Structure 1
Amino acid sequence: MNLITEASPHIHGRATTSKIMGCVLVSLLPTLIAATVLFGLNVPLLVLTYALVAIAAEHLCCKLMKRPSTAGDLSCVVTAVLLAFSLPATCPLWVGALGTVFAIVCAKMLFGGIGNNFANPAVAGRIFIMVALPSALAFYPQVVFSTTDALTGATPLAAAASGSASYSVMDLLLGVHAGSLGETCVLTLFVGYLFLLALRIVDAWATVPFIAAVGAIMALAGQDVVFHLLSGGLALGAFYMATDYSTTPMTPRGKIIFGLGCGIITALVRLFTSAPEGVAFSILFMNLFVPLIDRYTRPALSGGAQHVLV
């Protein structure tokens, strides 16, 4: 009998990074179709361009780092699609491409690639564009397909901040209003999220506290809870960005803390700052605390006491 010693993990499942990311892309297809109907045929072109830029950027980084290319695992494509979904259809193509390069190169590959980055790359790319090129996000187009004449270039949250918001629940669910590609049709985002839940690719440990915290604070503040839950990037952030493997805590208890933090910060930004939206900032801020959350929420070793290294 030969004794073979190997590094963990010793039990391997059938799931691979490329399969998982492929399922995430499939779950995003309904929202891509909805965005195309709402904002026009240029939407698939934007998403495809950003995906190709992400693949090229990650492949080039791997070559410069003299390591095998990881562009084929599709994680960079997921980043590109999520970033595209956080931008308006009128965002210049080069701006989105630049944000994609920043997301892949600066927020992901400089930290060692997938599994080593501390911040969600799509969120980092979005905030980079917000800070460096805010004019690209200053205008949100009127939807191409609509059932009402009351639509303007202002997103629901921006309209609410100015006191001119008047949207029905159905308008918010179907995305019949101005906004980013992936923050409009909440219904398709929810369907995609349920698909990932059914496959056990994601869980609800961070998502539910995220949404619940926003709802609770808005209720205490006397705001329209349903309006805030269905507006802005909350659905996209809670369903797809707060469930990222690399940049969220590992334990259920840690994910609950992460989700609560994201929800509280999002609600406070919406209530007390001039910015109508706070999802991206909340996720990036809580990403910074993930190592600390993991340290203090990790389970004790079986048969011994848990010791926290200082």
Structure 2
Amino acid sequence: MTPITEVEGRRVALSNLEKVLYPETGFTKGELLHYYATTAGALLPHLRDRAVSFLRYPDGPEGQQFFTKNVPPGTPEWVTTAGVPRSSADAPARMVVVQDLPSLVWAANLVTEFHTHQWLVQSPDEADRLVFDLDPGAPATVVHCCEVALWLRERLAADGIEAYPKTAGSKGLHLLAAVRGGSSERTSEYAKALAVEAERALPRLVVHRMTKSLRPGKVLVDWSQNAARKTTATPYTLRARRAPLVSAPVTWQEVEDCRDPARLDFRADDIAPRLQDLGDLMAPLLDRDRAAPLPAP
């Protein structure tokens, strides 16, 4: 029998709580649900009002993985959904919007990473996030990503934009900033221009194109996730990796001090103490008054 729990007055069916999802550590589905429930205070504000893509891995990271963008079959009627624009020739897609704790627990029971767009469902024509995904090509590591991130931080600051770093939860680093006044297309153009500039400034370290032959030993400054259709791992989401790694916000001091890739590996058990000590390091992204206007083309 599938156990039913009540979350803020909603009945949520849970399943396979003892199933081991991360064999490297023995981390179970029940622990995954506990992680999301106890991290909800920090996670939910970054999900709220954003259509969610789920990367599902119901048999663990070593099993089948697949993205779910449309509303999954069996979604409870109390879970918020929204029409999301696609191309002008297609009808809008219908996607989940995780607005509250019951919806978060229901979605977590599907065993998911949470990925969101860089715009809100009520204003899809305006990007409110700028994102760079810094992806190292071996033998480069997150240590090299940190060096690139520091350059981008200063370059963005010159345009009045404050960036906030988080780990990718795998091998790289993400930079996010709150922006206003531009479409996803305009934001993508700006991000690409900065990626090209970074390559010129740091030619031995940076590449802005995804061509595989260019990437060994360098950091790809991936600007493409600013496109309207793209989504990026949400702060505090677990990732489908060998261990229960988290896409964790970090301080700029941690970025500056990073000399060992392991220093920026954060697991589920690390997040509660960090939130207690540091709070949500990405909370400033939620303050619309702090969003910076994109520079004129």
Interval containing the TM-score (normalised by the shorter chain): under 0.3
Higher RCO (C-alpha 8 Å, min separation 6): 2
After TM superposition, the score normalised by the length of structure 1 is 0.26
Name the one with the larger helix percent: 1
User: Larger Cα Rg: Structure 1 or Structure 2?
Assistant: 1
After TM superposition, the score normalised by the length of structure 2 is 0.26
